[in-house]
């Protein structure tokens, strides 16, 4: 009997991530990959993300103000 030449299953481990642009949660391969195999966010296409598994870090405070910026005073 010769070597087994039948195709082997290709399993990939997925992790949950959150898009840094639109904050959508989606799954991506743990080992990364090319753009074709591991595209950006399915909602907005942005490629920045943060892992949802592992150590939880507090969300950074929102540094944007809803008020107008202070007016500069001229001398």
Q: How far is CA 50 from CA 11, 26, 39, 55, 58, in A?
A: 23, 11, 15, 11, 12
pLDDT band at 24 (very low <50, low <70, confident <90, very high): very high
What pLDDT does 13 receive? 73
Cα distance between residue 35 and residue 32, in whole Å: 9
- The phi, psi pair for 26, rounded to 5°, reads -150, 170
pLDDT at 8: 67
26-73 pLDDT tens trace: 988 776 666 566 678 999 999 898 988 665 555 566 666 666 666 777
Residue 62, pLDDT score = 63
Cβ pair 50, 24 in contact under 8 A: no
Eight-class DSSP state of 22: T
Report whether pLDDT(5) > 80.
Answer: no
pLDDT for position 29: 78
């Amino acid at each position: 009997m010769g070597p087994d030449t039948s195709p082997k299953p290709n399993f990939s481990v997925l992790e949950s991530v959150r898009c840094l642009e639109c904050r959508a949660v989606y799954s991506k391969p743990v080992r990364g990959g090319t753009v074709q195999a591991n595209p950006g966010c399915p909602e907005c296409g942005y490629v920045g993300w943060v892992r949802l598994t592992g150590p939880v870090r507090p969300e950074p405070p929102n540094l944007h103000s809803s008020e107008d910026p202070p007016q500069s005073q001229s001398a």
